[in-house]
Structures are given as structure tokens and as C-alpha cells.
């Protein structure tokens, strides 16, 4: 079945450092790919998405490119801020029927001032 694997955390960075959180997936066909973010005490919220190969999703300085050849959707940000501290989830929704979204395990990011 479909699955998502993302790098284990926690990831600890200093403010203004470069961020990469790796995400790979297994799915049939052409799924849609997402990054969600969860701040402490809140529900998940969509950060960015890409719906077809080579699409780049971007939002709030974060970017991720849908790479079908490597089945990857790595999250990047050039300069992180303390306010980016949160848990990040990679997710996919397949197009083989239904509306089920598969979430990765989440990666906790700590940014130090």
C-alpha cells in the first residue's frame, strides 16, 4: 500500500540556518504530495502542496519539489526562524480512489535563537 517515510527528528538548528527535511514515498500512479505543520497545542495545517511531477510547492519561505524519479518531496527553507519550531508532516493522497491521506511520522524541528 501507499506509504510515506520522513527523516527522524528532532532536528535542532540555529536561527538563520538552512533546513532540509527528507521525505520519500511509495504509491501507485501519481499521488498529490503535501507538507503539513503542527505548532504546539494545535491541529495540523497545510504548509504547501504539489499535485504533479516537477511541481514546486512554496509558502512562507518553505519549498518542496515533487520528484517522481526519486519518489521524494524534501522540504527546504533557506533561513529558519525561532517561530518555525514545530512538527512537520509529509503526506500523500493517492488517486486510485477514495480520499485517504497517508501521513509520515512527523519531524520535530527546534530552532535556537
Partner 1 sequence: DAGVIQSPRHEVTEMGQEVTLRCKPISGHDYLFWYRQTMMRGLELLIYFNNNVPIDDSGMPEDRFSAKMPNASFSTLKIQPSEPRDSAVYFCASSLWAGTGNYEQYFGPGTRLTVT
Of 86 and 106, CB closest to partner 1: 106
Taking the alpha carbons of 105, 69, 59, 33 in that order, is the dihedral positive or negative? negative
Coil, helix or strand at residue 83: helix
Of 32 and 85, CB closest to partner 1: 32
In sequence order, which residues have a C-beta less than 8 Å from that of residue 99 and are 6 or more positions away? Answer: 93
- 42 near partner 1 (CB under 8 A): yes
State in angstroms the smallest separation of the CB of 79 from partner 1.
Answer: 26
Give the residue, chosen from 19, 21, 27, 49, that forms a contact with partner 1 under the rule CB under 8 A: 49
8 Å CB contact between 12 and 110: yes
Give the residue, chosen from 52, 56, 60, 112, that forms a contact with partner 1 under the rule CB under 8 A: 52
Amino acid at each position: 500500500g501507499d506509504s510515506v517515510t520522513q527523516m527522524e527528528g528532532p532536528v535542532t538548528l540555529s536561527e538563520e540556518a538552512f533546513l532540509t527535511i527528507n521525505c520519500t514515498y511509495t504509491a501507485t500512479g501519481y499521488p498529490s504530495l503535501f507538507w503539513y505543520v503542527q505548532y504546539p497545542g494545535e491541529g495540523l495545517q497545510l504548509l504547501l502542496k504539489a499535485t504533479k511531477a516537477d511541481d514546486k510547492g512554496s509558502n512562507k519561505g518553505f519549498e518542496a519539489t515533487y520528484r517522481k524519479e526519486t519518489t521524494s518531496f524534501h522540504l527546504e527553507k533557506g533561513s529558519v526562524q525561532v517561530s518555525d519550531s514545530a512538527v512537520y508532516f509529509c503526506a500523500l493522497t493517492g488517486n486510485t480512489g477514495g480520499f485517504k491521506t497517508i501521513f509520515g511520522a512527523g519531524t520535530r524541528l527546534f530552532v535556537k535563537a
